[in-house]
């Protein structure tokens, strides 16, 4: 099943989108978190059918919300490196076609290490997606072992500051790193999203540095599609 976590415009407090996060539902209805199965699914190749299902379901649900008059903004979907190496572009095209979702509503989240594997092929796929209007985000930014030069080469729209840096806000080193990433993103004309915001102190600091968007338990945990629809319908301004 997919759960949805709100992304929030830090200036207005309005919901600007959601990230779709997969959970495995056991026969007793208990949910298993992705940390327990995504790596295994990557190793054994099952991530390919899972990833296709996730993308299809996230696009289908987003289009259903839009049709019902609920403006969700953008939907972000996580993509593993392994998916990029298969028929990824064709898969995205066919899902967009099938669900009727406007490609500009879709953002794909990739990790730095995922992008670094087979750089030329990744660049080709990302450029083709970008031409369609699909947005590209770097997830967990700052935690991979990669050179910054890829930020110039790849068509990246969004940097997601990893939650470990956000949790270091309050300490001098943490604040310096977060400020530097926000400043770099702004001058590269990329949107910066802070992940894992849990406290008002973290939020206030990010706002003082003009971070555009945020996501975290402070605003809302990942929730079922039904709960997310209720939140959207209430047009909540969450916690800013
Ligand atoms: P991610 O993409 O960086 O997603 C953010 C994770 O941080 C989510 O964990 C979310 O529940 C959690 N989180 C959000 N706000 C907070 C907060 O304020 N504090 C803390 N401590 N955590 C917060 P989740 O759902 O367990 O997912 C973990 C990772 O699993 C994701 O990290 C992503 O890398 C991967 N994942 C999730 N869904 C998918 C999927 O559909 N496909 C693939 N390939 N990977 C996925
Ligand atoms: Mg993500
Ligand atoms: Mg992340």
Three-class DSSP labels, the chain: CEEEEEEEECCCCEEEEEEEEECEECCCCCEECHHHCHHHHHHHCCHHHHHHHHHHHHHHHHHHHHHCCCCCCEEEEECCHHHHCCCHHHHHHHHHHHHCCCHHHEEEEEEHHHHHCCHHHHHHHHHHHHHHCCEEEEEEECCCCCCCCHHHHCCCCEEEECHHHHHCECEHHHHHHHHHHHHHHHHCCCEEEECCCCCHHHHHHHHHCCCCEECCCCCCCCECHHHHHHHHHCCCECCC
The whole model's pTM is what? 0.96
Residue 239 in this model has a pLDDT that exceeds 60 = no
The pLDDT, as a whole number, for residue 115 is 87
The rounded Å distance from CA 21 to ligand 1 centre is 6
Please give the pLDDT value at position 240.
54
Give the pLDDT confidence of 219-230 residue by residue, as tens digits.
999 999 999 999
Choose between 34 and 151: higher pLDDT: 34
Q: Indicate which atom in ligand 1 lies nearest the CA of residue 54.
A: 41
- For all residues of the chain together, what is the average pLDDT? 94
pLDDT at position 238: 63
| CB 202 less than 6 A from any atom of ligand 1 | no
pLDDT tier for residue 92 given thresholds of 50, 70 and 90 = very high
**Predicted pLDDT at 25:** 94
Protein residue closest via CA to atom 19 of ligand 1: 196
Mean of pLDDT values over 19-37: 96
Interval 103-116 mean pLDDT: 94
pLDDT at 150: 84
Average pLDDT of span 62-80: 96
Atom of ligand 1 nearest to the CA of 160: 3
> pLDDT digit string (tens) for 127-178?
999 999 999 999 999 898 777 888 888 999 999 999 999 999 998 888 999 9
Q: From the CB of 53, is ligand 1 less than 6 Å away?
A: no
């Amino acid at each position: 099943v997919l759960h949805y976590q709100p992304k929030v415009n830090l200036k207005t407090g309005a919901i600007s989108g959601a990230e779709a996060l997969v959970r495995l539902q056991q026969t007793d209805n208990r949910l298993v978190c992705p940390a327990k199965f995504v790596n295994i699914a990557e190793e054994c190749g099952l991530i390919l059918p899972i990833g296709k299902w996730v993308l299809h379901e996230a696009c289908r649900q987003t289009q259903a919300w839009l049709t019902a008059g609920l403006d969700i903004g953008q939907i972000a979907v996580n993509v593993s490196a392994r998916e990029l190496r298969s028929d990824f572009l064709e898969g995205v095209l066919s899902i967009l076609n099938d669900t009727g979702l406007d490609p500009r509503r879709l953002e794909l989240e990739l990790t730095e290490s995922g992008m670094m594997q087979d750089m030329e092929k990744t660049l080709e796929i990302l450029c083709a997606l970008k031409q369609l209007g699909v947005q590209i985000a770097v997830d967990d930014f700052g935690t991979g072992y990669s050179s910054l030069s890829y930020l110039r080469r790849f068509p990246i729209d969004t940097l997601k500051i990893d939650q470990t840096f956000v949790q270091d806000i309050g300490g001098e080193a943490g604040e310096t790193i977060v400020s530097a990433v926000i400043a770099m993103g702004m001058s590269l004309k990329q949107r910066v999203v802070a992940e894992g915001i849990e406290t008002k102190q973290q939020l206030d600091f990010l706002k003082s540095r003009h971070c555009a968007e945020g996501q975290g338990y402070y605003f809302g945990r990942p929730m079922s599609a039904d709960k997310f629809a209720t939140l959207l319908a209430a047009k909540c301004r969450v916690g800013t």
